[in-house]
Amino acid sequence: MDAPVHLAKVCAELCAAHLAPRGLFCEFRSDPGLLPREACQTLALIVVELVTNAAKHAFEGRVSGRIRVALLRTEAGWICQVADNGCGLGAGPGGDGMRLVRGLARGLGADLRVHSDSAGVIVSLSLPDDPA
């Protein structure tokens, strides 16, 4: 499945339905490439969850913000990043949304890393060349 085309559609729909009405902007960029259909669909679920969580929690008290989604090809496989310029995460492992993301990432055989500070959150998934 053409992963960039699929994720670009998902991001455009998220922007129109959830982000634009809140004054938020979503930017998507990707290297070209194909992923197995199930992996692409699972990755889209992860992106939806992360973008929706950012829209709900990262920009409280603000009238604007940015969420970036990137799918990049590497020698070892793929990196998918969802980053926001919001307030960062509080202490602790996160709520139900992050548990869902962790479970979906495990199912793909992806390594999940979360970086949070006062400048926002960056969630990176490193997927093997042939994800589950």
- CA–CA dist 54, 83 (Å, integer): 9
Instruction: Note the pTM of the prediction, 2 decimals.
Output: 0.92
CATH architecture of the domain formed by 3-128: 2-Layer Sandwich (3.30)
- Domain locations in the chain? 3-128
pLDDT at 121: 94
Q: Which residue is associated with the tokens 């960039």?
A: 4
- Are residues 82 and 98 in contact, defined by beta-carbon separation less than 8 angstroms? no
Model confidence pLDDT, tens digit, residues 70-123: 999 999 899 999 999 998 886 655 678 889 999 999 999 999 999 999 899 999
Q: What is the mean pLDDT of the chain?
A: 91
- CA–CA dist 2, 6 (Å, integer): 6
Which is higher by pLDDT, 92 or 33?
33
